[in-house]
Amino acid sequence: MTTPQFERARSAEAKQAREAAILEAAARLALEHGIRTVTLTDIAEAVGMHKSAMLRYFETREDIFLQLATTAWREWSASVRDQLARLSAGTGRGARRREWEQTAGEVAAALASSLVSRPLFCDLLAHTPLNLERNVSVDRVRAFKILAIAEVAAIAATLSTITPLSVNEATSVVTTATAMAGALWQMAAPRTTLRTLYESDPDLAHAVVDVEPRLTDILSALITGYAARSSP
């Protein structure tokens, strides 16, 4: 199947459509092959453009993926805040210690599952500090960082209203969740030859990482520890 050959965008609407096509192609390729392997040439070929023409729309390959990370942060934040807000009784600062211990795992599981259900976001979380922030303009990095910090604060505010955690403690939980999700996702190496190797060789069984239960366990321990420390 031949790829479409786009003409140069002549209007704001056409430019937006072109940018959307580039982002969609980059996201699709990243989900299929992993961000690490996707080049600017790959994305250009997927949308039927010359690589140099893409620079009219995005600064660099990293800029494309940083834009995807911006969108992913917004979408994840809205989704996980909705999940946390729906968690029921037993949470909150007034809950008894035993009640809270019974629900801490539920809060941790909600955070973990919301991340693992977004494989592209998990991949982006690992690559953003490693390289996506390293080959774009300072203004672009600043805009992304302000957005990400605001979304962390919004999630932490929701978390602090349904748990005994302070806002600072809730912020640490959110930042730990995203950092560990990115790291564990790389260790798990889903849909790669490395994962196949780990699963097929008994001597490498320790290298097989199941991200969601591992992340849930880490977050549950962190949340429970914070709650215990603040208990009278």
Say which amino acid occupies 50: H
Cα–Cα dist 168/153, whole Å: 9
Q: Phi and psi dihedrals of 89, rounded to 5?
A: -50, 160
Q: Where are the domains of the chain?
A: 1-58, 61-230
Give the pLDDT band (50/70/90) at residue 11: confident
Q: Residue 137: which of 66, 88, 232, 203 has the closest Cα?
A: 66
Cα–Cα dist 67/145, whole Å: 12
One fold for 1-58 and 61-230: no
Cα–Cα dist 115/112, whole Å: 5
| Amino acid 204: pLDDT | 81
The average pLDDT across 43-71 equals: 93
Give the pLDDT band (50/70/90) at residue 10: low
- With 60 as the cut, is the pLDDT of residue 76 above it? yes
Report the CATH architecture of 1-58. Answer: Orthogonal Bundle (1.10)
Report the CATH architecture of 61-230. Answer: Orthogonal Bundle (1.10)
Structure tokens at 77: 């934040």
- With 70 as the cut, is the pLDDT of residue 211 above it? yes
- With 90 as the cut, is the pLDDT of residue 89 above it? no
Give the pLDDT band (50/70/90) at residue 55: confident
- With 70 as the cut, is the pLDDT of residue 133 above it? yes
Cα–Cα dist 225/41, whole Å: 48
